[in-house]
Structure formats: structure tokens, C-alpha cells
């Protein structure tokens, strides 16, 4: 690879011929529209007291206007690399891999197109990746279909990121340049993998050998309002990647050449362990990206870029999480729960005041931590886990309704939680039999009981004893009672509950004990 300077001494004057970039003051919002309209530029340099703050893109300004946001240029400025010395070609080229594909050379603005004019890339080798096993086989099968249809085919997003990290990935996203529906149907037949799902966005899902395969046509999107689902239309790959959440997910692999396609510096951000947004309004467009940020930042140990922090501050100020539907909020919490370290993601959200916006006040995460470590919690199904998580964050009715529980269910949970609080002394009392405690707790769902247990660690030992005892059942069944000559009826339930209580309390050990117990407790029944 060449190490010649992008701008040798002999060519320095060529840069100055580009002229000073078009600038706007940080608070001169009234000038922005005029400058964009008259110049035809896509970006403006935002300055404050002659200090460069970053670039304002036409896309972001128009997006903010469509949302009716009264924001200043400085609030929307996106930071890009700025260099003041001669660097090797490969270093300069890596700096251009940012969402705006521009850098500051001193105070001059240099675009990627300028870079190619000044120093054509004679020998900059493309980055190629190697696929193995099922992924290599899948590439061959899909590529043969794409070539028959004369369309481009790319692996995109998280799967490319995981390839660079040498991590396994079972969620594969493929993008084709057109005719996605036909492509999906042919691939389904070829792989003998049924199409299990299609969406309003023109995407298709296949299940094959343990892989979840998503197929989509390259598209661009726009949001009619903050937090709304986007409108989409076919578009070029660069725009398809730009619409994603973070640069580390805005990567593609050309499956024909196995060349990495990295328009926005995702590989560099991944290497430097940095989470970078693609524009300052990213979280305003889609607030669920804040929850994804929590997952990626904690899963990969990523720091947050200055642009990320600016986008985060704007999202907090505009309270965009409150705009999300209950269903989308629940889905994001469920996705956090499948992380290897879900608690770390919740801590991340709390540290950035996002849980405070969600819960109405800053929650104490100690109950959540205890809940996630609870062995009984692992036995819950997905929906039960979600309810337990919500109750561990806050058992308040308003919060539960906000997260999509029905008013009836939310009221019941709040009341049951209050009843449990009122029964704390009952649960701890040595004068109350274990069976009484078991029958009391069985009035409510395990999800609520575990959340309550997490809120009151002083009850942990006693409640675990109660929960373990809930599994206790007598040896005798209704059929046994019938064989003993007892006529079926309401008495069965009373007898079996009495038997179970005695066994829970350690009074009965085996079948013979239970028979003797019944003859003693119900002599009239047996004599009859």
C-alpha cells in the first residue's frame, strides 16, 4: 500500500484553490435556508467565534424543519476529523470514512471527491473478508440466484460487524439492488427454506439451518415525525446503509467480490471501540436506537463519540422516548433480556437518565439486579419475564399501563403488590404455617411474586422456602379417593388441599401417612 502523502508539498497550493468553505454562525438559523438554496451545497460549516463546530447537512436541517423543531445550526453540527499535518494516504483515506465523507484540512473543507482528484488511489487495496462453513455455502447459493437475476447482492449490518469481530452470527441480513420478492421466492425454493414472514417494508424472512435470514431491497427512508415508523422507497446501497442506527452496523460485504463496503467509517469505529451515530437527529428519528445503543455499548465495550453524546442530549431534551408506542418499548426490553449481561444495559440506560424518562423517576436497579440473578426467574416464559422486569422497575399502575399492560392487569398488579407489602409480617412470622403462606402466594402470578421478592431482600430466604414448597403435592389423587369409595364432588378439593397442606407442613411423608391422616381427619366419610 502506498504511503505517499495525499497532499505533497508541491500540491499544497492546489488545496487552497478549493476556496474557503461556506460557513454559517452557530446561532444564525435564519441564514441556513438561504445559503443552502443559493449555493446548492449539501453541507455548511458551522462556526462560533471563528471556531469550527462541525458540519450542518442539508438532510439534517430539512429533517429538523419537517419535525417543526426550532433548533440552531450549532445544535445540529456534526463533528468530522480535522488535520493540520501531512499524513500517509491510508490514514487520510480512513478519516474520510465518516458519515459526511469530508475532512477539515486546517480550516479548508475537503470532500472525498476532492481527495480522488488530488491523489487518485493507484494502489489502495480493498478490504476482503473470508467466509467459511454454512455462510460460505449460503453465499454461493444466494449469489447464483442473484447472478441469474442480474442483481447485486450484499451481506449487511450486524453480520458484517460480527465477521470483523470474528464472532458467530445467526441473524443474517442480505440486501439486493432490486426484485427482492422474486429473489426471495427463488431462494426459498432453492434452499428448501419456507418464507416465514414478510413485512410492509418489502422484507422477507427465511429460517435455514438455525439461521434467521432477512432479505430486503436496498432502500432509503424518511420519517414524517419523530418516533414514527419510516416511509421507505427503493434507493442506492449507500443510502440503505446510511439509514441504519450506527456506523458499526452501516457495513456491507459485496458477496461477488467479498469486498468490504464501508462508506461511513464503521470498521474504524469498531476497531477503536467507539459508538458513532450517522447524524445528530438519529435518536429523534427512532428513539428505539437508544435501547440498541445500550445493548451494543455494553456487549462490545464501546465508548460514545462526541456526536453520539450530542444526539443523546437532544433526544433527552425532546423527551423522545415518551413518543414510543408500548409495543416498541416492550420489544426493546425483551431484546435486552436476551443479552449475556442484560443488567449492564439497564445500568447504561439509567446512567444516561433514560430510565428516568421511561419510569417517571429514577429507578433503583437493585431489585432488577436481584431478579435477574434469581433462579426462579429463568423458568418464566418471555412475557412473564417482561412483567417481572417492569414490576421490578416500578409496580405503579401508570408505568405498567405506559408499557402496554391493560388497565385491569395494571390495577391488579399494583393492588397485589400492595397486598404483599401489607403481608410482610405474615410472610416472616414463625407462627404462620408454611402451607398458609403457600396458599396465600398462589393467589398471584410468579412474575409478580419474584418482583416483590426482589424488592424485599430480607424476605428472600423465607420466600424461597415458600416457592419451593409450592411444588409439593400429595401422593393421593382424586382417582385414589374414588377407589377408596368416596363419591366425587366438592369434598375432593377440600380433602386434597388438606392433604397438601399437611404434607407442605412436614406432617406427612408417604402414601400410608396420607391414608392414615384421612381416616383420622375424615372418619365420617370413611365409616360411610
Which residue, chain included where needed, has cell 427465511?
Answer: 206
Do residues 291 and 336 lie in contact, with contact meaning Cβ atoms separated by under 8 Å? Answer: yes
Do residues 215 and 174 lie in contact, with contact meaning Cβ atoms separated by under 8 Å? Answer: yes
Residue 287 has a pLDDT of 96
Long-range contacts of 75-81 (CB under 8 A, 24+ apart): 75/280, 75/310, 75/314, 76/46, 76/280, 76/281, 77/26, 77/46, 77/53, 77/280, 78/54, 78/279, 78/280, 78/307, 79/53, 79/54, 79/305, 79/306, 79/307, 80/54, 80/55, 80/104
The SS3 assignment for 48 reads strand
Do residues 272 and 266 lie in contact, with contact meaning Cβ atoms separated by under 8 Å? Answer: no
Residue 527 has a pLDDT of 64
pTM for this predicted structure: 0.83
In tens digits, what is the pLDDT along the chain, a chain of 528 residues? 333 343 344 333 333 345 668 899 999 999 999 888 877 789 999 999 989 999 999 999 999 999 999 999 999 999 999 888 778 878 888 899 999 999 988 777 888 877 776 666 666 667 889 999 999 999 999 999 999 998 889 999 999 999 999 998 888 999 998 888 999 999 999 999 888 877 766 789 998 988 889 999 888 888 888 888 888 888 888 888 999 999 999 999 999 989 898 889 999 999 999 999 999 999 999 999 999 999 999 999 999 999 999 999 999 999 999 999 999 999 999 999 999 999 999 999 999 999 999 998 899 999 999 999 999 999 899 999 999 999 999 999 999 999 999 999 899 888 988 998 899 899 999 999 999 999 999 888 899 999 999 999 999 999 999 999 999 999 988 888 888 888 788 888 898 999 999 999 999 999 999 889 988 888 877 665
Domains located in the chain, CATH noted: 9-118 (3.10.580.10), 126-265 (3.30.460.10), 364-469 (no CATH), 478-527 (no CATH)
Cα 250 to Cα 252: distance, rounded to the nearest angstrom: 7
Amino acid at each position: 500500500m502506498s504511503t505517499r502523502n495525499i497532499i505533497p508539498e508541491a500540491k499544497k497550493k492546489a488545496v487552497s484553490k478549493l476556496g474557503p468553505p461556506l460557513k454559517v454562525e452557530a446561532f444564525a438559523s435564519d441564514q441556513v435556508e438561504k445559503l443552502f438554496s443559493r449555493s446548492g451545497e449539501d453541507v455548511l460549516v458551522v462556526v462560533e467565534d471563528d471556531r469550527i463546530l462541525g458540519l450542518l447537512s442539508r438532510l439534517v436541517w430539512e429533517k429538523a424543519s419537517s419535525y417543526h423543531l426550532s433548533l440552531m445550526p450549532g445544535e445540529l453540527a456534526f463533528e468530522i476529523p480535522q488535520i493540520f499535518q501531512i499524513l500517509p494516504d491510508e490514514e487520510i483515506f480512513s478519516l474520510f470514512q465518516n458519515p459526511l465523507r469530508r475532512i477539515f484540512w486546517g480550516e479548508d473543507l475537503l470532500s472525498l471527491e476532492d481527495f480522488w482528484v488530488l491523489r487518485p488511489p493507484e494502489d489502495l487495496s480493498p478490504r476482503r473478508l473470508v467466509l467459511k462453513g454454512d455462510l460460505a455455502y449460503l453465499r454461493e447459493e444466494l449469489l447464483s440466484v442473484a447472478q441469474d437475476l442480474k442483481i447485486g447482492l450484499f451481506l449487511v449490518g450486524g453480520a458484517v460487524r460480527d465477521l470483523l469481530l470474528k464472532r458467530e452470527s445467526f441473524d443474517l441480513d442480505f440486501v439486493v439492488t432490486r426484485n427482492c420478492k422474486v429473489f426471495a421466492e427463488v431462494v426459498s425454493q432453492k434452499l428448501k427454506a419456507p418464507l416465514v414472514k414478510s413485512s410492509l417494508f418489502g422484507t422477507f424472512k427465511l429460517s435455514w439451518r438455525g439461521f434467521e435470514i432477512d432479505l430486503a431491497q436496498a432502500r432509503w427512508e424518511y420519517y414524517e415525525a419523530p418516533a414514527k415508523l419510516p416511509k421507505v422507497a427503493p434507493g442506492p446501497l449507500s443510502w440503505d446503509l446510511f439509514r441504519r442506527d450506527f456506523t458499526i452496523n452501516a457495513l456491507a460485504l459485496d458477496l461477488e467480490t467479498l469486498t468490504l463496503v464501508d462508506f461511513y467509517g464503521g470498521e474504524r469505529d469498531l476497531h477503536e471501540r467507539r459508538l458513532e451515530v450517522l447524524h445528530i437527529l438519529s435518536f429523534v428519528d427512532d428513539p428505539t436506537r437508544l435501547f440498541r445503543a445500550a445493548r451494543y455499548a455494553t456487549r462490545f465495550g464501546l465508548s460514545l463519540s462526541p456526536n453520539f453524546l450530542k444526539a443523546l442530549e437532544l433526544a433527552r431534551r425532546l423527551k423522545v422516548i415518551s413518543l414510543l408506542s408500548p409495543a416498541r418499548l416492550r420489544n426493546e426490553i425483551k431484546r435486552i433480556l436476551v443479552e449475556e449481561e442484560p443488567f449492564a444495559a439497564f445500568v447504561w440506560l439509567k446512567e444516561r437518565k433514560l430510565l428516568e424518562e421511561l419510569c417517571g423517576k429514577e429507578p433503583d436497579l437493585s431489585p432488577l439486579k436481584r431478579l435477574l440473578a434469581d433462579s426462579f426467574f429463568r423458568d418464566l416464559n418471555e412475557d412473564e419475564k417482561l412483567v417481572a422486569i417492569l414490576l421490578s422497575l416500578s409496580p405503579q399502575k401508570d408505568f405498567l399501563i405506559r408499557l402496554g399492560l391493560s388497565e385491569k392487569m395494571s390495577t391488579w398488579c399494583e393492588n397485589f403488590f400492595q397486598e404483599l407489602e401489607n403481608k410482610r409480617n405474615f410472610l416472616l412470622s414463625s407462627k404462620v404455617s408454611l402451607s398458609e403462606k403457600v396458599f396465600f402466594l398462589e393467589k398471584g402470578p410468579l412474575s409478580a411474586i419474584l418482583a416483590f421478592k426482589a424488592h424485599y431482600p430480607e424476605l428472600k430466604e423465607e420466600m424461597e422456602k415458600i416457592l419451593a414448597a409450592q411444588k409439593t403435592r400429595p401422593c393421593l389423587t382424586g382417582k385414589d379417593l374414588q377407589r377408596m369409595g368416596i363419591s366425587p364432588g366438592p369434598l375432593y378439593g377440600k380433602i386434597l388441599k388438606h392433604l397438601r397442606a399437611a404434607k407442605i407442613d412436614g406432617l406427612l411423608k408417604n402414601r400410608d401417612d396420607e391414608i392414615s391422616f384421612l381416616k383420622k381427619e375424615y372418619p365420617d366419610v370413611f365409616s360411610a
